[in-house]
Amino acid sequence: MKLYKLLICAIALLSSLPVWAQGAYSLDSCRSMALVHNKKLMMTRQRMAKADYQHREAFAAYLPAIDFEGGYTYNQKKISIFGSDQYLPVGTFNPEALLDPKAAKYNFDVVKNPETGQPIMVNGQPVPSNIALIPKTAMEYDIHNVFFGAITLTQPIFMGGKIVAMNKLTGYAKEVAEALHNNEAENVIYAVDAAYWQVVSLKAKYDLAVSYVNLLDSLDHNVALMMDEGVATKSDKLSVDVKLNSAKVDLTKVENGLTLSRMALAQVCGMPIDSDMHLVDEPGGKDFTIAGEIDGTLLQSADIDAALQRRPDLHALELGIKVAGEQKKVAKSDMLPKVALIGAYSFSNPNMFDGFSKRFAGAFSVGAVVKIPLWHWGGNYYKYKAAEVDENLMRLQLADARDMVNLQINQASFKARESLKVYQTTMSNLTSANENLRCATVGFKEGVITTDDVMAAQTAWLKAYSENIDAMIDVQLCDVYLRKVLGTLSAR
């Protein structure tokens, strides 16, 4: 059983190894790695997640909000209802009030002048003879430590259409984030293809440069033998040496460029730049052709109307117009009434619900809130008009983008056709260059052609193959770019 588990773990480990540890990279594998590890795509995925969360946040505004608020306050002094002790006159019930409604219900004993028998008046008021004392301390309340809190529920009823508009706005924003992600994915794919074919091109040119150096080295050896036999001059030898040294310098430059291009491809794919990336389409010698056939769509006219519908960047602009329209509705909601239902349970310690008690007690309350904007000196109206201008700007931006895409598609179509024609021309030039080099080599051996003629033929041969490599790579890049501008590029 342990051996079986170890075998399963080993299989899982091997299956998780990166592609570069298993063999050469294909274009599809490079695209796949870039789509997973590219930092810009990671950022667009984060923006998509943010837009989704904002959409959910907007939907939550439909539902009642429940909040809790609490606090504590320390007060330096107590509070007292009276500023000093209070004296209240004491009265007795008058039985005559039962028989005579006009009679006073209570009789108050007052201090009378013993000589006249009349009540003694102080400041126009009689002086009671019997009083009830209410001490000042009896009406003092300890509020040194006050605890309070409330649980509230708020249910929006009508917010001027703002909640509905925000839900639609965030929904469109979510679609915009997805469209921009797709557009960035196409940009990444195009960047990967460009870096991939750059490596392929430089590898082909490196092999070509090696073949050219070998040709010159062979010529240099033959000229040296001929100079020993007296049929070639030292000048011929020096001319070949200079050409050979120049070719070796060019070989070094191509080799360095190939190394840097591999680093650039690794960076685009999200791999360490020191990864030794070898590609499936890399040539094995000077007879280099790209696997597969040239896409026939390069010869067909591009359907611009269909491309306008497929382009994710144009779709994002169309959604941007809808977003601007909902923002206009949000601005308009500030000029409309707002109604909300409010419920709360408030409590405090001490409390005054049943006398002054130093304990927690509370009560429920329910109500409605209405807010009607009356006058803001035109501020809300100008905000609405500014949002309306934003919507018009988005429409103009979309119209301008459509014109630019139309031009872009036509330019890409012409460039694709041109690249194919150039490629076909370079293919025919290869036959002439090979035959010219063969004749020059034979003529040099027969002694009827000089070293300068041979080197000229070799240079023409190098140029023909180099132009053919550039043309093949250009066809591939033009094909990818045309697919991109037509909106049909995918990680195939």
* pLDDT of amino acid 287: 52
**SS3 assignment, position 20:** helix
* pLDDT of amino acid 292: 40
In the predicted model, residues of the chain with pLDDT beneath 70 are 1-23, 284-303, 490-492
Q: Are strands 145-158 and 140-141 parallel, antiparallel or unpaired?
A: unpaired
Asked if 270 and 191 count as a contact pair (C-beta separation under 8 A), the reply is no
* pLDDT of amino acid 12: 34
211-230: per-residue pLDDT in tens? 989 988 988 888 888 888 77
Amino acid at 401: A
CA 207 from chain center: how many Å?
A: 43
Asked if 273 and 36 count as a contact pair (C-beta separation under 8 A), the reply is no
300-309: per-residue pLDDT in tens? 545 678 888 8
Q: What is the CA radius of gyration of the chain?
A: 47
* pLDDT of amino acid 285: 46
Report CA-CA distances (Å) from 247 to 284, 453, 455: 20, 17, 11
* pLDDT of amino acid 101: 75
Report CA-CA distances (Å) from 269 to 18, 242, 405, 419, 491: 12, 41, 28, 27, 13
* pLDDT of amino acid 70: 94
Distance CA 26, CA 200 (A): 11
* pLDDT of amino acid 284: 62
């007795």: which residue's tokens?
92
Asked if 165 and 437 count as a contact pair (C-beta separation under 8 A), the reply is no
* pLDDT of amino acid 248: 92
* pLDDT of amino acid 352: 85
* pLDDT of amino acid 146: 92
* pLDDT of amino acid 220: 85
Distance CA 426, CA 429 (A): 5
* pLDDT of amino acid 355: 81
Amino acid at 96: E
400-424: per-residue pLDDT in tens? 999 999 999 889 888 988 988 999 8
* pLDDT of amino acid 288: 56
Distance CA 205, CA 218 (A): 20
Length of the chain as a residue count: 492
242-256: per-residue pLDDT in tens? 988 999 999 999 999
Residues paired with 361 in a beta bridge: 348
* pLDDT of amino acid 92: 79
* pLDDT of amino acid 62: 94
* pLDDT of amino acid 170: 95
